[in-house]
Amino acid sequence: MYQKDGESYFIVDAHVALWDARPENQRNIHGKQFIDCFYDYHANLSPASEKWPYEEYLYQGGERFIKDIFTDGYVDHAIFQPAHLGEFYKTGFGQTEEAFALTQENPGRLTYNHNFDPRNGEAGLDQLRADAERFNLKGVKLYTAEWHGDSRGYKLNDPWTYRYFELCRELGIRNIHVHKGPTIRPLDRDAFDVADVDHAATDFTDLNFIVEHVGLPRLEDFCWIATQEPNVHGGLAVAMPFIHTRPRYFAQIMGELIYWIGEDRIQFSSDYALWTPRWLIEAFVDFQIPEDMTEYAPITIEQKRKILGLNAAKMYDIPVPVELQLPSADETATGPRQPERADLAAV
């Protein structure tokens, strides 16, 4: 656990990946465009000391992953959230076999989530059944802007997507992580719009919808949806590095999230290998809302503990030291709204 000033923090990095964007795996120009855009995010939002050479960024491998996440990164448990992107990469962007092998080698420290694409129809449903059994899936990662033949995206409330959610319910896959954030070249901005989360969360109240990147740049839309849907959560991937380059903007993000949905539904994510967790964790533990931003309350140590790991640990049944455990009552999917949130939703 990370410790600072006598306080301990159990860390769950809820959004990590092992990718291969090397030229030999790029299917076309779009593969290069995608990883170049990733690298621009990394280079422009990282401290100089944390910036990687471009060549190292294309592929990390398992040995470096373990070092960056666990040896150097303070993380107690990490959750793989792979993107396929088969139209851009020959073996896919996220490396399934390598990531799952690491999970098997480190069962107490890693959880492997997989992905599906509802545009694969009946064959995809069969594949999801097989994947759920092989990987013992508790969650999936969806990329609604992913290209598929002539299609350049899908929605969470499409009929075929609902077929897959129904199967997730049957298979015990309860956690649906959805990329709803900044666009990445060459993908389309509108296909990442957060609006369809509202439909799906209403119709599948027994599933958790974790909106990765908290909907940025549509934070206000996300907050208004999540405040009335108690099974919608926010993942801080991509939001976290603004703590370095735009600390007041980061303060606004955190202040709005805590005001609207509360600290119980926010999850820390480094988005490795976009960024490494060590400096993000150090910065967040030390972070405080500026005093002149009086519309937001200060962030407490207990709130930071929940965000940095206890919330995701509770969602995924990850063992936590007794002295840091949250109450055992399930308050996520189908749980009661906080009274003040319910009042807001009724306005």
2 domain residue, yes or no: no
Condensed to tens digits (0 to 9), the pLDDT of residues 204-261 reads 999 999 999 999 999 999 999 999 999 999 999 999 999 999 999 999 999 999 999 9
Condensed to tens digits (0 to 9), the pLDDT of residues 107-140 reads 999 999 999 999 999 999 999 999 999 999 999 9
240 domain residue, yes or no: yes
The boundaries of the domain holding residue 77 are 7-341
Condensed to tens digits (0 to 9), the pLDDT of residues 262-281 reads 999 999 999 999 999 999 99
Burial class (CB in 10 A: 0-12, 13-18, 19+), 271: buried
Residue 322's pLDDT band (boundaries 50, 70, 90)? confident
347 domain residue, yes or no: no
210 domain residue, yes or no: yes
Residue 338 has pLDDT above 50, yes or no: no
285 domain residue, yes or no: yes
In b/e form, how buried is each residue of 143-159, taking b as 16+ CB within 10 angstroms? bbbbbeeeeebbbbbbe
26 domain residue, yes or no: yes
346 domain residue, yes or no: no
The gap from C-alpha 79 to its chain's centroid, in whole angstroms, comes to: 9
Percent of all residues in the chain with a pLDDT value above 90, rounded to a whole number? 89
Residue 335 has pLDDT above 60, yes or no: no
Residue 339 has pLDDT above 50, yes or no: no
Question: Once rounded to an integer, what is the mean pLDDT over residues 176-182?
Answer: 94
Percent of all residues in the chain with a pLDDT value above 70, rounded to a whole number? 94
Predicted pLDDT of residue 329: 46
Residue 346 has pLDDT above 90, yes or no: no
Q: Edge-to-edge strand order for the sheet containing 175-179?
A: 114-115, 139-142, 175-179, 208-212, 232-235, 266-267
Residue 9 has pLDDT above 70, yes or no: yes
Predicted pLDDT of residue 275: 97
Predicted pLDDT of residue 328: 63
Question: Once rounded to an integer, what is the mean pLDDT over residues 35-52?
Answer: 96
196 domain residue, yes or no: yes
Residue 341 has pLDDT above 50, yes or no: no
Residue 325's pLDDT band (boundaries 50, 70, 90)? confident
Asked if residue 234 lies in contact with residue 257, where contact means CB atoms within 8 angstroms, the answer is: yes
Residue 344's pLDDT band (boundaries 50, 70, 90)? very low
- Measured CA to CA, the distance from residue 148 to residue 139 in angstroms comes to 22
Averaged pLDDT score across all residues of the chain: 93
pTM comes to 0.92
Of how many residues is the chain composed?
A: 347
Number of compact structural domains in the chain? 1
Predicted pLDDT of residue 171: 98
CA distances from 92 to 31, 127, 153, 228 (A): 10, 16, 17, 36
CATH value at residue 287: 3.20.20.140
